[in-house]
Chain A
Amino acid sequence: MAAASVRVVAPRPTGVRASKGVRRDWVVGYTMVAPVVLGALAFVVLPLGMVVWYSLHEWNVLAGTFTFAGAANYERLLADPGLVDSLLASLWFSIGLVVLNIALALLLAVLLDQKLPGTTTFRTFFFSPVVVSLVAWTIVWSFLLQADGGINGFLAMFGLEGPNWLRQGGTAMLSVIVVQVFKNVGLNMILFLAALQGVPEELQEAARLDGAGAWRRFRSITLPMISPTILLVSIITIVGSLEVFAQIDVLTGGGPGNSTTVLVYYLYQQAFRFNEFGYASAVAVLLFVIVLALTLLQWQSRKRWVFHEV
C-alpha cells in the first residue's frame, strides 16, 4: 500500500541555531514545570521523608529530646490494642461510606439521567453540599444530631423518640458516615452522570431490539460501560474515607468509647494530644502503606472488571 511507504521525517536540527533552540525549549520546559515540581518536592516528598525519619525516633517535644529509636515505634504498632480498635473503626467507616456513597450516587445519577423536567434543579440541589465548607457542614449536622436536636424534633412530630445519635455506640458511627455521604455524594453523582451520558445510545437500542429489559440493559451494558468511572469513584472514596478527620473531631471526638476513633484521628491524638510525635509518625507511615496498597490493589484488579472500549 502506498500509504505504508510514506515516511514523515521531522526536520533535523542542524547547526548552532538549532541547538540553541533545543536548549531554549529545555529551559522553557523546565521553568514551566519548576513551580509544580518544587512544590511537590517541598510539600509532598520532603515531608513524607521526614515522617519516615521521625518514625525512627523517640521525640519528646516538651523535654526537647530527639533520640534514635530504631524500629521501636514499629514494634509498638504491633502490640498496640488502641491501634487495632482504630483500624477496625476505619474499616467500618470505609465499608459504610463506600457502599452507601457509591450506591446512592449511582442511584441519583440514573434518576437524573432521565430526560425529565426539573433534573437540572435536582442536580444542583444534590451537588451543592460539595461546595459547602466541610467544617460548617459538620457543625450544622452536629446540632441536628443532638439529643434534643432537629432530627429528633422531627421524629417527635410523629410520636417517635429518636436515639442520642452521637453518644450511642451503634448510632455514632452511622451518623458520621451519613454526614459524610451527604457531603460528597453529589461529586460522585456528577461523575456517574457524565459516564452514563457517554454510554452509546445505539447499544441500548440494539439490546432493546433484542428484547433485553431495563435491568438486563443496565447490568450488561450500562455497568460495564461505566466501569472505569466506578473504579475511579471507588478509589477516590476509599482513599477519602481513610482521611476522614474533621467530621470525627467535630461530631464525636472519637467517642463514645473509642468507637469512632478512626486511624487518622488516632494518629492526631498520638501526635498532638499525647505528644508522641515519633510513634504518631509510625502510624502515619502505616496509613500511607495502607492507602498505597489499596490503590495498587484496585489498579491491578481493574483488568478483571473494568471494561475499556477499544
Chain B
Amino acid sequence: MHTPIRRPRAAATGAALATALTLSACSGGEPGALGDLETPSEPVDLRMTVWTADESHLALFQEIGDAYAAENPDLVSGVTFETIPFADYTTTLTTQLAGGNPPDLAWVLESYAPEFVSSGALADVRPVLQDTDGYELDDLVPSTLELWQDEDGLYAYPFSNSPFGVFVNTDQIAAAGQENPADLVAAGEWTFDTARDIAAATAEDSGKQGLVVRDFDYQLWENLSTVWDGWGAAPWSEDGTRCTFTDPEMVDAMRWIHDAAFDDGAMPGPGTTADFFAGDAAMTITQISRASALDGSFDWDLLPLPAGPAGKQNVIGQAGIGVFAQGENPGVAADFLAYFTNPENAEKLATYFPPPRASLLDAATLSAANPLLSEEQLQTVVVDGIKGSVTKPVHQNFAKLSETVRAQLDAMWTPDADVAAVLDDTCAAVQPLLEE
C-alpha cells in the first residue's frame, strides 16, 4: 500500500519537516525587499536553476559567474548553473522550494510570472539594480518589465524577449508552386488566410504537414495565442477576472484553427508529430531563438506573424531571472543578478537571448550575435517585434487554468466538434478559477 506522494519526497522528508516547522513560525507571504548588501561570514556558493542544456549557453553563464567570483572573493566561492529539463521545470522548482532547498536564483517562465511575483516567492531586486553603479536601469524597455512588477517592486529581470515569427520552408513552398511568403509580406498581403492556403496546398503537394504551431501539440493551448492575437482575441479579460473564450473574436479564431486542422489539412491533427526543422512541415510559428536548429538542409526564411482580421500583433515569449526570498543569501544573489545583467554582460547574453535593453535592441548589434539571420529579418521580426509586443496568456492562477482549459478544449479537437459549444463549456469551467 503506497501513497505515491510519499516516494519522491521520502528522501527530502527530514529537510521538509524542518522547513515546515520553521515556516509555520514565519509570517511569509510578503514580497521580500533587499537592504544593503552584507558580506557573509564566509564566501557562499550561489546556485541558479535554468532550463537550457545548451553547452554554449552554459559556458557563457559560467564565464560570467566565474568572473563575478574572481571579482568578489569575499562574497562568493563560486556560481553553479543547474539545468532542469524544460518539461518539468516549474514542478521541480516548486518541489525544491517545498523541500526547503530553494536555489538562490532561477529562471522563471512568463506564464508563472504573476504567481511567482504576487506570492512573495521572489525578492524585490529594484533597489539593488538601481544602486549598482553603471547598471542603467532606465535602459530597460518598460513594456518588457510589466509582467515582473508589482506596484513599485521589480521581481525579476526579463533576460529573454524572444519574438514569435514564422519560419517557412521555401523549398517545399516553391515545389508546390505557391507564392513566396516574403513577397506577400512586402505586398502587405501576409495574412493568416493566405498562410493557411499556402500551408494546405504545400502539405498536399509534399505529403508532409503545412503550418505547425510549435509546442502546441493539442496540449499547450497557450501557444495558440500567436494565432488568435491576430483576431484580437484573448482567453480572459486584461484584469484576469472574466473569461473571454466565448467572445466573438475568440470563437472566430478557434473556428479558423479547428477548420485549418480538420477541414483543409493546413495544420497537423492531434497526435501527429511534425518537426519543421527536420523538414516535416512547410511553415512553423515559433520563437526566433529556434533558428539555431536549422542545419542548412533546406532553404528557409523568417517572417513576422501574419495579420488576422484585427491586424498584426507582435507576440514575444519572455523569461525572467528572479532571486528567491527564501534562499539563504538573497542579498548576494541580487548583487550577482546586477552583475550578470549589467550592460556588458547583457550584450554577451544577447548572443542567445534578445535583451530588454533599448541600447542593445538594434539590428546591427543583434546580427553580430545571430549570424543565421539577416539584418532585415532581425529588424522586422526582432526589433520591431519586441516593441509594442504582447506576451502569451498569463494569470496568477495559471497552473490550474492551463490544465482546466486543456481538458475542456480536448472536446474541440475532433472533426465534427461544435466550437462555440466547447468554448461555452470552457468558460463555465474557467470562470470560477478566475475568481479564486
- Cβ of B20 and Cβ of A167 under 8 Å apart? no
Does A46 sit within 8 A of B, measured CB to CB? yes
A47-B9, A65-B28, A167-B413 known; 15 new pairs, CB 8 Å cut-off, are A47-B6, A54-B20, A62-B97, A63-B28, A63-B121, A64-B28, A64-B120, A146-B272, A255-B410, A257-B410, A261-B407, A267-B4, A273-B403, A274-B399, A275-B399
20 A-B pairs in the complex with CB atoms less than 8 angstroms apart: A42-B10, A51-B3, A62-B115, A63-B120, A64-B97, A64-B120, A65-B26, A65-B29, A67-B24, A146-B273, A167-B413, A243-B4, A255-B407, A255-B410, A256-B411, A257-B411, A261-B407, A272-B95, A273-B400, A280-B5
- CA–CA, A138 and B115, complex, Å: 33
- Selected from A68, A164, A267, A273, the residue in CB contact (under 8 A) with B271 is A164
- Cβ of A255 and Cβ of B406 under 8 Å apart? yes
Chain B residues in 8 Å Cβ range of A62 = 94, 97, 115-116, 119-121
Give the size category of A's interface with B: 35 or more
Does B91 sit within 8 A of A, measured CB to CB? yes
Known: A284-B5, A295-B1. A63 touches B119 (CB 8 A): yes
Does A264 sit within 8 A of B, measured CB to CB? yes
Does B326 sit within 8 A of A, measured CB to CB? yes
- Cβ of B116 and Cβ of A284 under 8 Å apart? no
Does B428 sit within 8 A of A, measured CB to CB? no
Chain B residues in 8 Å Cβ range of A164 = 269-271
Chain B residues in 8 Å Cβ range of A48 = 3, 6
- Cβ of A287 and Cβ of B115 under 8 Å apart? no
Known: A50-B17, A148-B272, A288-B3. A63 touches B98 (CB 8 A): no
Interface string of B139-168 (1 = CB under 8 A from A): 000000000000000000000000000000
Chain B residues in 8 Å Cβ range of A257 = 407-408, 410-411
In the complex, residue of chain B having the shortest beta-carbon distance to the beta carbon of A65: B28
- Cβ of A239 and Cβ of B120 under 8 Å apart? no
- Cβ of A50 and Cβ of B400 under 8 Å apart? no
- CA–CA, A44 and B27, complex, Å: 31
- CA–CA, A48 and B6, complex, Å: 7
Known: A51-B6, A167-B413. A273 touches B91 (CB 8 A): yes
Does B414 sit within 8 A of A, measured CB to CB? yes
Does A66 sit within 8 A of B, measured CB to CB? yes
Within residues 221 to 244 of chain A, which ones have a CB less than 8 A from any CB in chain B? 239, 243
The 6 A-B pairs of least Cβ separation, nearest first, read A62-B119, A256-B410, A147-B271, A65-B28, A62-B121, A284-B3
The minimal Cβ–Cβ distance linking B421 to chain A, given in whole angstroms, is: 14
Known: A51-B3, A245-B4, A273-B399. A148 touches B271 (CB 8 A): yes
- Cβ of A168 and Cβ of B326 under 8 Å apart? no
Q: Which residue numbers of B lie inside 8 Å of A, CB to CB?
A: 1-6, 9-10, 13, 16-17, 20, 23-24, 26-29, 91, 94-95, 97-98, 115-116, 119-121, 218-219, 269-273, 325-326, 399-400, 403, 406-408, 410-411, 413-414
Chain B residues in 8 Å Cβ range of A168 = 414
Does A166 sit within 8 A of B, measured CB to CB? yes
- CA–CA, A37 and B13, complex, Å: 17
Does A93 sit within 8 A of B, measured CB to CB? no
The minimal Cβ–Cβ distance linking A299 to chain B, given in whole angstroms, is: 12
- CA–CA, A164 and B20, complex, Å: 45
- Selected from B13, B24, B271, the residue in CB contact (under 8 A) with A46 is B13
- What total count of A-B pairs have CB within 8 Å? 138
- Cβ of A147 and Cβ of B272 under 8 Å apart? yes
Known: A65-B29, A66-B24. A274 touches B400 (CB 8 A): yes
The minimal Cβ–Cβ distance linking B84 to chain A, given in whole angstroms, is: 13
In the complex, residue of chain B having the shortest beta-carbon distance to the beta carbon of A288: B3
- CA–CA, A18 and B193, complex, Å: 95
- Cβ of B219 and Cβ of A253 under 8 Å apart? yes
Q: Which residue numbers of A lie inside 8 Å of B, CB to CB?
A: 42-44, 46-48, 50-51, 53-54, 57, 59-68, 146-149, 164, 166-168, 239, 243, 245, 253-258, 261, 264, 267-269, 271-275, 277, 280-281, 284-285, 287-288, 291-292, 295
- Cβ of A285 and Cβ of B3 under 8 Å apart? yes
- CA–CA, A254 and B408, complex, Å: 12
In the complex, residue of chain A having the shortest beta-carbon distance to the beta carbon of B3: A284
- Cβ of A51 and Cβ of B5 under 8 Å apart? yes
- Cβ of B271 and Cβ of A146 under 8 Å apart? yes
Chain B residues in 8 Å Cβ range of A65 = 23, 26-29
Chain A residues in 8 Å Cβ range of B97 = 61-62, 64
The minimal Cβ–Cβ distance linking B210 to chain A, given in whole angstroms, is: 15
Chain A residues in 8 Å Cβ range of B271 = 146-149, 164, 166-167
- CA–CA, A153 and B413, complex, Å: 21
Chain B residues in 8 Å Cβ range of A284 = 3-6
- CA–CA, A261 and B118, complex, Å: 30
Chain A residues in 8 Å Cβ range of B400 = 273-274
Chain B residues in 8 Å Cβ range of A50 = 13, 16-17
In the complex, residue of chain A having the shortest beta-carbon distance to the beta carbon of B21: A66
Known: A64-B121, A274-B399. A267 touches B410 (CB 8 A): no
- CA–CA, A280 and B5, complex, Å: 8
Known: A272-B91, A272-B95. A63 touches B29 (CB 8 A): yes
Chain B residues in 8 Å Cβ range of A61 = 94, 97-98
- Cβ of A66 and Cβ of B23 under 8 Å apart? yes
Chain A residues in 8 Å Cβ range of B91 = 272-273
- CA–CA, A288 and B47, complex, Å: 37
- CA–CA, A48 and B7, complex, Å: 10
- CA–CA, A235 and B13, complex, Å: 29
- CA–CA, A54 and B413, complex, Å: 39
In the complex, residue of chain B having the shortest beta-carbon distance to the beta carbon of A164: B271
- Cβ of A47 and Cβ of B20 under 8 Å apart? no
- Cβ of B20 and Cβ of A66 under 8 Å apart? yes
- CA–CA, A104 and B272, complex, Å: 32
- CA–CA, A66 and B119, complex, Å: 13
The minimal Cβ–Cβ distance linking A54 to chain B, given in whole angstroms, is: 7
- CA–CA, A167 and B272, complex, Å: 11
The minimal Cβ–Cβ distance linking B109 to chain A, given in whole angstroms, is: 13
The minimal Cβ–Cβ distance linking A272 to chain B, given in whole angstroms, is: 5
Chain B residues in 8 Å Cβ range of A54 = 20
Known: A47-B9, A148-B271. A64 touches B1 (CB 8 A): no
Chain B residues in 8 Å Cβ range of A166 = 271
